[in-house]
Amino acid sequence: MASAPWPERVPRLLARRLPPYPPPPPTVGLPSMEQEETYLELYLDQCAAQDGLAPPRSPLFSPVVPYDMYILNASNPDTAFNSNPEVKETSGDFSSVDLSFLPDEVTQENKDQPVINKHETEENSESQSPQSRLPSPSEQDVGLGLNSSSLSNSHSQLHPGDTDSVQPSPEKPNSDSLSLASITPMTPMTPISECCGIVPQLQNIVSTVNLACKLDLKKIALHAKNAEYNPKRFAAVIMRIREPRTTALIFSSGKMVCTGAKSEEQSRLAARKYARVVQKLGFPARFLDFKIQNMVGSCDVRFSIRLEGLVLTHQQFSSYEPELFPGLIYRMVKPRIVLLIFVSGKVVLTGAKERSEIYEAFENIYPILKGFKKA
């Protein structure tokens, strides 16, 4: 899934004008209504962003500022930026986006989804620009900036009330702040790759659910197909289904662990299927407390990495014992993710409870890895 430019990267000028707003907790599976409202905020932020430039930030810090955008949308206090990742998810899978057009491209506009139009017009009384589209997740900061430049709303003072022309020239002050944005290493909270659109793919999801009833493992093993049960070796039934291809460990207490799915929905679906199997066997199985325990993602940065340099400069986070394991183990603190980085450029991320953590971790590590690129 590709990444959209985060307007908050564009300087936190907004902070000057608006009091900070406490960030709501990120929600998973954000409904599209909120997602549109989020996009609106992005626009508004863009506009206000025209005031100046923000100081560069270390990629390891989480941005505090985006929340100030909430002020603009006081009516949507629940919109969380963290929701963006979910938004990205629902937007479907975008393959790697070519960022080479940064920062002076207008063509992005063409890729816009005219999704939020109606919302924007509600909120944005001044500008009813039909072109004020929400940048699709595949857009970059630039796209947003350009979009917002076409909005003339009360929040933006820099903009000459541009018309609906979505071709606001790149030479607008926008590009300044945008080019700044592209070089400002801020930590986005969404899977925007400021790099080249590499997005980690999920490889494995481990989840647990409570069926809330005592189970007779022997009966299950006898009647269910694809079930193994060897009480001497392990006190659980191992069941497998083909679609989605997963494995479940079912314990007599009613707790179940489901592994092998490639996405959250698949994991949930698989867990439900297992629960149904158990139900059909006559147990009053329910589906309580479904929780994703671990998510594993992987990707390839496509260049060799000099691990000796990385382990030296990031000693407190990394351990590299090539005689033990060929990869460097990097324990990122925020988000709390463990990355396995290999010389070939492959990166495996694990320990996440949410997809956004994987994306965020990768965004954090990518600039660091680029610094140790082996020519």
Mind giving me the DSSP string for 52-87? --PPP--TTSPPSGGGGGGGGGTT-TT--TTHHHHH
Mind giving me the DSSP string for 227-260? EEE-TTT-SEEEEEETTTTEEEEEETTSEEEEEE
C-beta of 308: minimal distance to other proteins in Å?
4
109: helix, strand or coil: helix
C-beta of 153: minimal distance to other proteins in Å?
48
C-beta of 222: minimal distance to other proteins in Å?
20
For other proteins, the closer CB: 211 or 328: 328
What radius of gyration do the chain's Cα atoms show?
Answer: 24
Binding residues vs other proteins (CB under 8 A): 203-204, 206, 230, 233-234, 236, 238, 247, 249, 259-260, 294, 296, 304, 306-309, 311-312, 315, 319, 321-326, 329, 338, 340, 343, 348, 350-351, 374-375
C-beta of 351: minimal distance to other proteins in Å?
7
For other proteins, the closer CB: 7 or 351: 351
Q: Which amino acid is at 156?
A: S
For other proteins, the closer CB: 236 or 275: 236
C-beta of 348: minimal distance to other proteins in Å?
6
C-beta of 207: minimal distance to other proteins in Å?
12
C-beta of 309: minimal distance to other proteins in Å?
5
Which of 224, 229, 256, 253 lies closest to 241, judged by CA? 224
Q: Which amino acid is at 73?
A: N
Phi then psi for 120, rounded to 5 degrees? -60, -40
For other proteins, the closer CB: 75 or 230: 230
Q: How far apart, in Å, are the Cα atoms of 281 and each of 210, 245, 253?
A: 17, 21, 16
C-beta of 139: minimal distance to other proteins in Å?
33
The two structure tokens encoding residue 200: 């980690």
For other proteins, the closer CB: 53 or 338: 338
For other proteins, the closer CB: 2 or 250: 250
Q: How far apart, in Å, are the Cα atoms of 44 and each of 122, 155, 337, 344, 359?
A: 13, 7, 32, 42, 25
Task: Characterize 17-45 residue by residue with b for buried, 16 or more Cβ atoms within 10 angstroms of its Cβ, and e for exposed.
Answer: ebeebebbebeeebeeebbbbbbbbbbbb
The two structure tokens encoding residue 343: 């010389």
C-beta of 199: minimal distance to other proteins in Å?
19
For other proteins, the closer CB: 40 or 299: 299
Expressed in percent and rounded to 5, the helix, strand and coil fractions of the chain are 35, 20, 45
Q: Which residue has the tokens 């291809």?
A: 245
For other proteins, the closer CB: 15 or 340: 340
Mind giving me the DSSP string for 255-315? EEEEEEESSHHHHHHHHHHHHHHHHHTT-----EEEEEEEEEEEEE-SSEE-HHHHHHHTT
For other proteins, the closer CB: 114 or 309: 309
